[in-house]
Amino acid sequence: MAYKKLAVSDSKAAAFETQAAAEIAAIWRAVRARLRVELGDALYSQEIARLRVRMSDAGMIIIVAPSTFNRDWIEDHAGARIRAIWAELDSVRRDLLVLADGEVEPQVDVVRETVSQSKPAGKAAELPANRDDVIEPRFSFDSFRVGPANEVAAAAARSIVSAARPPFNPVFFYGDYGVGKTHLMHAVASAVTHAPNSRKALYLTAEEFLSGFVTAMRARDTITFKETVRGVDFLLIDDVHFIAGKPKTEDEFLHTIAALIAENKQVVLASHRPPAELAIADDRLRSLLTGGLACPLSKPDLDLRRQILDCKIAQAKCHYPVLSVSEPVRDFLAARITTGPRELEGVLNNVICRTALLGLPVTMEAVSTALRDLSLSAEKRLTVDEIQKAVATHFGVTTTDICSKRRTQSVVRPRHVAMYLAKTLTTRSLPDIGRRFGGRDHSTVIHAVNKITSMIESGDTIGQDIDCLTRELRD
């Protein structure tokens, strides 16, 4: 039933509104439970747990984000999924809008227009083929940082864009949530769309493909749908695991991919698992997917996380020129946030909200507070003792040597490394770290951190020792 104003007594109206609020709250709990499973605890706590839900006077569902940063992240990364889950659980067809806290709710007509643009298209002909507003401009090859975790996928992406005919088909990116699959797909779509040879690219989520196909079947207009998704040079579909297990959609998906490959058109797919591990019912589809090029993307190492963080900070400075993040703070963030680029961006956004937006400096204390508030329980809590033991073993000395007054090179080098790691991997203050290294002054710790930082920047092999120790401590 649709909720609207009824000519009833005040008590009945109040009961009606209470029932509606209870239903919405129950649906929202179910939506959040699904998102926690799909996104993981860290990302859920960071981005989803702080959202609130309410219903507007016009009967729309309003998701309230605590900040514009959070609102934009939700729309970019989870908006389509939230709407899809909500539509699945809610028997009443209601529009859903994401607003920042304090943001004025638009007029009803404007809201409906905005929401209709963000939903999967109701008609097959309205799928977002080759539209610039679908391709996220932030996700380009220039802003995609490459390292051991994603170099195969990045190389494959660039090769298919520059090739006259598909060198691999289909190309299948796979990896955990937030490691860069969507970024790379948008980069491919953007490069193809803006290339001088005017090829067409269509980027869709699996939800949009599924919704478009179902709507086309209901409207008995599957021909238009097929012409839209097959009439492009590059078809890119994200999160294809949502299509698996749905026989009719699997069948259409199979014929779509097969038709494009037969016409030497490029197909690019992405999922959280490789093709062989998807719950696909159709063996023909499984065979077709596994016959292409599967490119893994994994969690970035320390060096790649630092590159990604530097890129995110540079992008943020375009909006907040006063933003200044020191090298030690960057090292600390890159070392602590070990999950992926998406979490790095989320933490940075929260740090900006707590500092730059309030005219405050980005200090180590402010960053530590932000991390505590976000409750990143998935991160391993390291102690100075653990760092000292790992460094001593790595360099073949003892923890007693590291904390001693000895000044020989064989002891000073690991001591400086241990101090650097204690500063970048823990939230301990400089005086506290100094005390744990034989009662040294905080200035000694600063000297050690600056010394190691300088050596890393100069290309010294100490950087390899730091990376190795960081991985060992985090595992």
Domains in the chain: boundaries:
10-118, 151-296, 302-374, 384-474
Structurally, at CATH architecture level, domain 10-118 sits in 2-Layer Sandwich (3.30)
Residue from 262, 212, 260, 264 nearest 236 by CA: 260
Q: Count CB-CB contacts under 10 A for residue 371.
A: 19
Q: 179 φ, ψ to 5°?
A: -100, 0
CATH class name, domain 384-474:
mainly alpha
Q: Give, in order, the Cα–Cα distances in Å from 221 to each of 202, 211, 218, 318.
A: 19, 13, 8, 45
Tokens 């097969």 belong to which residue?
Answer: 258
What DSSP character marks residue 44?
I
Residues 6+ positions from 149 with CB-CB distance below 8 Å: 179, 297, 298, 299, 300, 301, 304
CATH of 151-296, one of 3.30.365.10, 3.40.50.1950, 1.20.120.1730, 3.40.50.300: 3.40.50.300
Helices (H), 140-245: 151-162, 181-193, 206-218, 222-230
Write down the pTM of the prediction.
Answer: 0.54
List Cα–Cα distances, 430 to 53, 345, 422, 442, in angstroms: 43, 27, 9, 5
CA pair distance 247, 446, nearest whole angstrom: 62
Assigned token pair, 18: 């209470």
pLDDT value at residue 124: 38
pLDDT at 385 (0 to 100):
86
The DSSP output letter for 124 is G
Alpha helices in 263-340 (DSSP H): 283-290, 302-319, 327-336
- In angstroms, the CA 281 to CA 250 distance is 8
φ, ψ of residue 98 to 5 degrees: the values are: -105, 125
- Give yes or no for a contact between 380 and 426, defined as CB atoms under 8 angstroms apart: no
Which of these, 61, 65, 59, lies nearest to 83 by C-alpha position? 61
Q: What is the DSSP string of 61-72?
A: EEEEESSHHHHH
Q: Cβ(454)–Cβ(442) under 8 Å?
A: no
Please report, in tens digits, the pLDDT of each residue of the chain (475 residues total): 343 333 334 444 444 445 667 778 888 888 888 887 777 766 777 788 888 888 877 677 888 888 877 787 787 778 778 888 887 787 766 778 888 877 776 554 433 444 444 444 333 335 544 444 455 666 788 888 888 888 899 999 999 988 888 888 899 999 877 788 888 988 898 888 877 777 888 888 887 887 777 777 777 777 888 888 888 889 998 888 877 777 777 888 888 888 899 989 999 999 888 888 777 878 888 888 888 899 989 888 888 888 888 888 887 877 777 778 888 888 888 887 777 777 777 788 778 877 777 777 788 877 777 777 665 533 456 788 889 998 998 898 888 889 988 888 889 999 999 999 888 887 777 888 888 898 888 888 888 888 888 888 777 888 888 888 887 786 6
Q: What is the CATH number of domain 302-374?
A: 1.10.8
Closest to 444 (Cα-Cα) out of 418, 468, 471, 467:
418
Model pLDDT for residues 407-422, shown as the tens digit of each residue: 888 899 999 999 998 8
The helix/strand/coil state of 235 is strand
Q: How far is CA 417 from each of CA 175, 204, 274, 412, rounded to the nearest angstrom?
A: 33, 47, 39, 9
- Name the DSSP class of 7: S
- Per-residue pLDDT, 268: 93
Phi-psi label, residue 234: left if phi above 0, alpha if psi -120 to 50, beta otherwise: beta
Asked if 62 and 53 count as a contact pair (C-beta separation under 8 A), the reply is: yes
Tokens linked to 16: 């009606």
Q: Give per-residue pLDDT as tens, 426-464.
A: 777 788 888 889 888 888 888 888 888 888 877 788 888
Distance CA 53, CA 133 (A): 27
**Do strands 52-55 and 61-65 pair parallel, antiparallel, or not at all (unpaired)?**
antiparallel
pLDDT at 173: 93
